[in-house]
Every structure is written in C-alpha cells, then in structure tokens.
A and B are shown apart, each in its own frame.
Chain A
Amino acid sequence: MAGLQRSHAEDLLYAEARLLDEGRYADWLNSLTDDITYWIPMGGEGGDPARAISIVYDNGARLRDRVARLGTGLAHAQSPPSKTRRLIANVQIEETTDAAAKVASAFILYELRRGRERVFAGRYEHQMRFEAGRWKIAAKKAILVNNDEVIDNLTFIV
C-alpha cells in the first residue's frame, strides 16, 4: 500500500457527500475520528482560531452537540430542514502516508429550503487518518467562496 490513492479518496468524499445529502448524521459521525476538527473559516483561508472567529470551529464534542441539536426537532432554522446536493470534483491528494493523508477538493453545494434555492461553492480540505482498518476523516475544513459575505443561514452541515 502506498498511502491513500485518488480513486479511493474520491470514494470517501462521495460517500461523505451522500451521507450529508441524505441527512444520515449518525453514520456521518461514525466516519469521523473522535478528535475531529470541523472548520468553516471566515475571510478566505481563515486566520489563527485563537485570535479570529470562524463561522464554525468545532472539536469533536462541539460537533456531536451540533448534530444532537439538529436532531431535537427544535432547531428552528432547520425546521423545515435544508435539502442539499453536493458535487465534488478536482480531487487532489496533497500528502499521503499509509497512516494519514491530506485531500483537497472543490465542491458545489445546492440548497433548497422553504422554496428558496441557494448555491454555495468552495474548497474542502480533508485530513484523513487510517484507523481500525479504514480511512476516517480527522479534520474537515470547508473554505466557502462567500465566507466573507453576509450569509443568512448556514445551520446545515457543510
């Protein structure tokens, strides 16, 4: 094995996109490492999170709380929930060993909620880690093209 191959990385990203599009959050959480970082920066690539706020900067506990809250049925900004479809392309393996890999991709995310359609575009950076016999997501950074603009509601998982 020579690290994570692009075709395999594409499978992983497509699978993740499908889980999120289908709202299968428990399965999605299972595809993440316990020490996951889920990051949606502001201002392009984002600054040092110790000194700058992000749209989202979740560690594992915060992300699990986020998902639990969405599941209460009382997260009003997701009632009714957003329907989404993600298209992922331009997948590149930036670094890889047998234990870890960094994967960059481009995405377009279509969202429909209460008759209003929006399109988000951006770049994902996934840190993958080989754990218990499979590749898991150890960090996900979603760099939205419009992350410096007014965004009305971004309460679904990007």
Chain B
Amino acid sequence: MLEQVNLAELVQDHRVHRKIYVTPEIFELEIERIFERNWVYLGHESEVAEPGDYKTVRIGTQPAILSRDEDGRVHVVMNRCMHRGATICQQERGNSNYLRCWYHGWTYNSRGELIGVPYAGGFGSKFDRSKFALIKPAKVAIYRGLVFTSLSADVEELPDYLGNAKYYLDLFMDLSPEGEIAARAGTHKYGYDGNWKFQMENGVDGYHANFVHQSFFEVQGKRLGRKLMKLFNESTAMESKDLGHGHSILDTAPKRRVEQPVNNLFRGMSSQAATDAYLDSLQRRFGKQRTSEILGASNVNLAIFPNLLIIGVQLRQVIPIAFNRTEVFATPTTLRGVPEEINVARLRAHESFYGPAGGGAPDDVEMFNRCTAGLAVKGAEWLELSRGLEREVITPDGIIAAHLTDEVPQRALYRRWREVICGAAATEPRPAKLALIASGS
C-alpha cells in the first residue's frame, strides 16, 4: 500500500513532522538531494599535509578518498576500483604514492589516473586506460583550509555558498596569529542510533544547555566559583542567527568586548605568561580591536549546512549512515604560531566536554536516543520549533537574529532542507511527492 506524502508539508516554518526522522525513504532522498547535489564538508587540509597523505571519507553514504599529490594539490576521488568495484583504500589514514586495489592489482595515482594494469594485454588491443580513471566529484574547493566537495557541478561557487558564514569562519581561523589552524591532534568518533538531523539541530541549540548540561555547569562552576548557567539563561545578550543557505550560529560575541580567550572557559589551564604572549602576538598581527573581535568568537557554535559544525575548538563532521544511525567525528584544532601551552589547553578543554567519554557531548547523544524512542509515538506528529518566531529581526545583510535560546538555527536548517528537497521555490507546499510504503504493509 502506497501513501503519498507532500514533503513540503512535513517541514513548516514553525514545526517539522516526525516522519522526516524515522522514514528510510526520506533518508534516501536526503542523501540524493542534499548530500549528493550540494557542497559537503570532507576535512581540513592539514589532515593530508604531506604529499601522498590520504584520508578515507564519505560523501553522503559513498566512500571517497581525500589525498594530496606529489605537487601538493588536494584531490578527492571515489573509493571504488574501476575494474570490479572493490574499495581501494582500507585505512582511515595513510601515506602512499599510489592507490592500489588489491583485488587484481589495478593501480592509480593520487589524481585518480589508472597507471598500472597487471597483464594488460589480456584486455585486448582496444583497451584504453584513460577511460578507467577513478570517478571524481564535480567540484572540490577549499576555504581557509576547510575542504568541501560537491558531486554535482550545478552549485554556487564555494565562497558564495558559505556567504555570511565566512565572517565567522575567518574569526575562527584568525584565532591563530598566523591565520592558520591544524586538525592533526586526532578525532573523537562516536555515534547514535538516530537521525543525522538531531546532531545538526543540537550543535547550534542555545536552549538545551542549561538542562542537558546542568551537571557539567554545576560541577565546573563550583571549581571556578562562577555561575555558568547564567551564560545560557533568558537574560544573556548572546544571539542565535540564521546566516542563510542553512548555515547558522550561536553568536557569543556581538554585545561584549572580549579581552581574554574564552575557549578555555571550563579549564583555566594555560599560564598567564603563555596567555599574555598569545594575546600580544594576536594584537601585533591584527590590532587591538580586531583581536577583541576574534576572541569574542573563540567559543563558537557554528553550523554549515549540511554536515559541518564548528563548536569550541573542534571541526565536527556529521556522517549520515541510515535513517536511524549517525556517526559523528569531532576533530579539535590547534593554532599555528602560539605557545604550546595554549594548544594543550585547547585539547584538554575539548576532551573535558566532548568525545565518547566527555562531560557534555554524550548527554546530547542521550537526548538523540531519547527523541528516537519517543518519536515512535504516533498521533503526536509534530516537533515544535517556533521559539522566538515573534522576536526575530532581520539585519541589512539578510541575517535573521533572535535570542540565544530561540529556535532560529533549527528553522534555518529546515528552510534550507525544504528548498533543497522540494525545489528552490518551496516556500509554499509544492507537489514534491514521495511514495512511501505505509508501515505494516
């Protein structure tokens, strides 16, 4: 029995339907229309710093390889031998001058060109190696070290796609007095039995912190003699912002001057001398005013649609596995050109809250699992996302802003979702219908 579902009706301005989290067919559609037709984040350039370095990644659910060739250029090829289909790279990371499929020994270079076929004569005189280069995404582009790719050529240029988010990405990178970060300190990997959108919603959710993370704030607050929950209550000056294109941020900076790095908020771990040296180098490079602006962004929660979150010091990649399974790779960054102590403090601050044993992230994940269980209830069909709708303001840049605890970022995510899934003009319900197999049939 088939049920016709109008997808645009499932995602409204103030609420979304439970079916978008629990329906395998909708997940397949998301992979096709969101992850295979748009820019997606793959990794940071520094993860493949040396010629021959490679990292295996996923574009949506498809395996791919991010690598650097002998000329220093970054490449992305699909991890699928053009002979009989086996994946070529098995390791998560490695270094190799060539990519060899061990099924029948076909060998490619980093650019994906087929450079070796064992006993090639057997394929006949018309066999043309050049037709068996590894499949490549249509686009690869790098913004300040962040590598994005698109399987479709029909996308905006990356800087245009990032749009208003570029300002915040620049602040994050400029925390380094050399303007460069590195993502080589390892990756926390965890997962949950629930939909990928739960993580994208939560990474920029200013409303949940005082409830999901109360235990962390209480214990840390006691140690530091501060009331950390005040940061996230109704009187905070911080804002949530819809940056366009589905990107959004919890903006901690706009209404205060920041004189000290705050990403060590929960652990004042670096010495005064190291902190002073760091501040001094920032001010020499950027001047006092810009330095204050940069430091204001140093405890950021930024979402880049569809699969990148920048939270605290980390680049967090959200990896959709199935409608009810998601993996999350959180890679903390270090800053080039700062005292080692500053970077050690960044790593320890990251560990204390994030990763599978952190004091914060696992409690978020617990909520995703609880949502997944709760959404089995039929009859209560909607998830409410209307908080702050009546107090949104639109800036001259077209940024929609409201209070930190408002559901602006979630609405930003779903506005973009609807555009991509249902077509560009999907502000009204459109006939983008999907045949669903009704449950129980």
- B344 contacts the other chain (CB 8 A): yes
A residues 88-137 touching B (CB-CB < 8 Å):
none
Pairwise interchain contact B357-A40, C-beta atoms closer than 8 A: yes
Q: Which of A6-14, A17-25, A26-34, A144-152 contacts B (4 or more CB under 8 A)?
A: A144-152
The chain A residue sitting closest to B223, CB to CB, is A65
Contact-size category for B: 35 or more
- A15 contacts the other chain (CB 8 A): no
- A87 contacts the other chain (CB 8 A): no
Contact with B along A140-158 (1 / 0, CB 8 A): 0000000011111111001
- B261 contacts the other chain (CB 8 A): no
- B137 contacts the other chain (CB 8 A): no
Given the known inter-chain contacts A50-B340, A56-B351, please indicate yes or no for A150 contacting B190, CB distance below 8 A: yes
A74 to B108 CA separation, bound complex (whole angstroms):
53
Pairwise interchain contact A51-B185, C-beta atoms closer than 8 A: yes
Contacts of A65 in B (CB 8 A): 219-220, 223, 359
Pairwise interchain contact B215-A43, C-beta atoms closer than 8 A: no
Given the known inter-chain contacts A76-B212, A76-B366, please indicate yes or no for A55 contacting B188, CB distance below 8 A: yes
Pairwise interchain contact B365-A153, C-beta atoms closer than 8 A: yes
- A52 contacts the other chain (CB 8 A): yes
How many Cβ-Cβ contacts under 8 Å join chain A to chain B?
A: 97
* A contact set with B: CB distance below 8 Å: 40, 42-43, 47, 49-57, 61-62, 65-66, 68-69, 72-77, 79, 148-155, 158
- B270 contacts the other chain (CB 8 A): no
A55 to B220 CA separation, bound complex (whole angstroms):
19
- Which listed residue (B92, B190, B220, B347) contacts A151, Cβ 8 A? B190
Q: What does DSSP make chain B's interface, helix, strand, loop or mixed?
A: helix
Pairwise interchain contact B365-A77, C-beta atoms closer than 8 A: yes
A-B contact pairs, 18 of them (CB 8 A): A50-B340, A51-B185, A53-B185, A53-B332, A55-B357, A57-B351, A66-B359, A69-B359, A72-B218, A74-B218, A75-B363, A76-B367, A77-B365, A148-B92, A150-B191, A150-B327, A151-B190, A154-B356
- Which listed residue (B190, B344, B348) contacts A152, Cβ 8 A? B190
- B415 contacts the other chain (CB 8 A): no
Contact with A along B356-392 (1 / 0, CB 8 A): 1101001101110000000000000000000000000
A55 to B356 CA separation, bound complex (whole angstroms):
7
- B316 contacts the other chain (CB 8 A): no
A73 to B267 CA separation, bound complex (whole angstroms):
23
Pairwise interchain contact B215-A74, C-beta atoms closer than 8 A: yes
Pairwise interchain contact B223-A61, C-beta atoms closer than 8 A: yes
A143 to B392 CA separation, bound complex (whole angstroms):
50
Pairwise interchain contact B219-A55, C-beta atoms closer than 8 A: no
| Cβ of B115 to closest chain A Cβ, rounded Å | 31
Pairwise interchain contact A52-B351, C-beta atoms closer than 8 A: no
- B198 contacts the other chain (CB 8 A): no
Contacts of A158 in B (CB 8 A): 357
The chain B residue sitting closest to A151, CB to CB, is B356
| Cβ of B140 to closest chain A Cβ, rounded Å | 26
